[in-house]
Amino acid sequence: MAGSTDNRPPGAGHGGPAVPPPLWLLAELTYRCPLHCVFCYNPTRYASTGAELSTAQWVDVMRQARALGAAQLGFSGGEPLLRDDLEELVREARGLGFYTNLITSGVGLSPARARRLKDAGLDHVQLSFQDSTRELNDFLSHTRTFELKQQVARTIKEHDWPMVLNCVLHRHNLPHVGAIIEMALALQAEYLELANAQYYGWAWLNRDQLMPTREQLREAEAVVQSWRERIGSRCRLLFVVPDYFEERPKACMNGWGSVFLSIAPDGLAMPCHNARDLPGLSLPHVGEHGIADIWQRSQAFNAYRGEDWMREPCRSCDERHKDFGGCRCQAFLLTGDAAATDPVCAKSPAHGQIVELVRSAPARRHIPLVFRSDAHSRALG
């Protein structure tokens, strides 16, 4: 029987009588991955985490999350296709009434596997690319996967799935943004997510190498806009500007403990997939606590929920309902204090640090890129 995480009433730390349920359950099925991307968002110390949850434990998590009210389920990783039980989990999730989404590098999505996942009821696929050229795609992932990804994109369309292509942008591939859009159109993607790298996880280690120039961003945004005008709704283009180039932070996670319930491969429940790296959080394990209890009462999910935790300048800022003070992980990485105002915000006393990082990155480009690897992850910790 799952125990209680603390004795505060539901809603404690949220400033209201009840905590609305999560919308999304993010099932990070495994940190294992055949790729070695330099901007991977998995924690850098993933290799020293505990054993993966079993099929039965995942099914139990899904049942509880659905009973709590979660409606959408993302299967991600690492590479979720490395789990042999993915079909079984998808079937169970559909039976529970979740809308299911597979977030994949494509490695392992053979036509036979795609058929089985279709039969199991998978609703939607998000496929990642690293670039529109074989050279850069294969270099940045440290694998020969470019052709395979093209084939997988065709397989996805043959199975009538709506397809999101996702390409993380940075200074190496920003000049290719037009070609990336052409590739997405050729592959018949319904949606192309052009998400500039955000600097945490492995991208934090490679920040100086990945950071674009303002000029590159301006040009890429203009290219995206001109394509938008030409293609209308044929393929929706989302261009996410990197935080460091903004004056206000993003509403990270749409607010802590508000929409997303992430479960890590080893069963730790997290309000953000990077929360493992934040100090002072007791992350609850799904084997020890029920999902409703975790969501409503746990210290970790209440730590930055709502506004009670905020300090100045956020506490009295009239924009706090819009961005919730920005990203806790970014605040911690840049200031050492997870409760600080995100330094991306021009009102933060630490904002000058961001301005200086953007200005001086080109001078530090000689630092070698760090590819995600088990060996490097183990060395970190």
Chain residues in the site for ligand FES (CB under 6 A): 200, 252-253, 272, 274, 327-329
> In degrees rounded to 5, what are phi and psi of residue 329?
-65, -40
329 binds, among ligand FES, ligand SF4, none (CB under 5 to 8 A by kind): ligand FES
The residue count for binding ligand SF4 (CB under 6 A) is 14
The answer on whether 329 is annotated among ligand-binding residues is no
Q: Which does 252 bind (CB under 5 to 8 A by kind): ligand FES, ligand SF4, none?
A: ligand FES
CB 380 within 8 A of CB 282: no
Give the x-and-dash track for 312-351 against ligand SF4 (CB under 6 A).
-xx--x-xx--x-xx--------------xx--x-x----
What's the rounded Cα separation, in Å, for the pair 60 and 287?
A: 10
Shorter beta-carbon distance to ligand FES: residue 30 or 258: 258
Rounded distance between C-alpha atoms, residue 87 and residue 53, angstroms: 16
DSSP for residue 100: E
Which helix (H) or strand (E) covers residue 194, if one does? strand 191-196
323 binds, among ligand FES, ligand SF4, none (CB under 5 to 8 A by kind): ligand SF4
Separation between Cα atoms, residue 165 and residue 125, nearest integer Å: 9
Could you tell me the smallest distance in angstroms from the CB atom of residue 50 to ligand SF4? 34
Considering beta carbons, is residue 113 or 320 the nearer one to ligand SF4?
A: 320
- Closer residue to ligand SF4 in complex, CB, 174/331: 331
Residue 143 site contact among ligand SF4, ligand FES, none (CB < 5 to 8 Å, cut-off depends on kind): none
Report DSSP letters for 118-187, one per residue.
HHHT--EEEEEES-SSHHHHHHHHTS--HHHHHHHHHHHHHTT--EEEEEEE-TTTGGGHHHHHHHHHHT
| Joined tokens for residue 157 | 């369309």
Residue 274 touches which of ligand FES, ligand SF4, none (Cβ within 5-8 Å per kind): ligand FES
Residue 272: contacted member of ligand FES, ligand SF4, none (CB under 5 to 8 Å, by partner type): ligand FES
Task: Provide, rounded to whole angstroms, the least separation between the CB of residue 361 and ligand FES.
Answer: 20
Instruction: Report cis status (omega within 30 of 0) of the bond before 106.
Output: no
43 scored as a contact of ligand SF4 (CB under 6 A): no
DSSP of 257-300:
TTSEEEE-TTSBEESSTTGGGSTT--PPBTTTB-HHHHHHH-HH
Question: Which CB, 142 or 351, lies closer to ligand FES?
Answer: 351
Q: Which is nearer to ligand SF4, 119 or 247 (by Cβ)?
A: 247
Instruction: Look up residue 245 and give its DSSP letter.
Output: G
C-alpha closest to that of 256 among 189, 333, 338, 186 = 338
- At closest approach, how far in Å is the CB of 348 from ligand SF4? 6
Supply the minimum distance, in Å, between the C-beta of residue 145 and ligand SF4.
38
Q: 345 is in the binding site of which of ligand SF4, ligand FES, none (Cβ under 5 to 8 A by kind)? A: ligand SF4
Per CB under 6 A, contacts with ligand SF4 among 223-252 are: 248-249
Distance CA(160)–CA(270), nearest Å, equals 33
Stretch that binds ligand SF4, among 39-47, 159-167, 228-236, 310-318 (CB under 6 A): 310-318
- Return the half-sphere exposure (C-beta side, CA atoms, 13 A cut-off) of residue 375: 2
Is residue 33 a known part of a binding site?
yes
Is residue 37 marked as binding? yes
Q: How far is the CB of 312 from ligand SF4 (least distance, A)?
A: 8
Token representation of residue 194: 């052009």
First to last CA, the chain: 33
Residues of the shown chain interacting with ligand SF4 in the complex, contacts defined by CB under 6 A: 248-249, 313-314, 317, 319-320, 323, 325-326, 341-342, 345, 347
| Binding-site entries | 33, 37, 40
| Binding-site entries for [4Fe-4S] cluster | 33, 37, 40
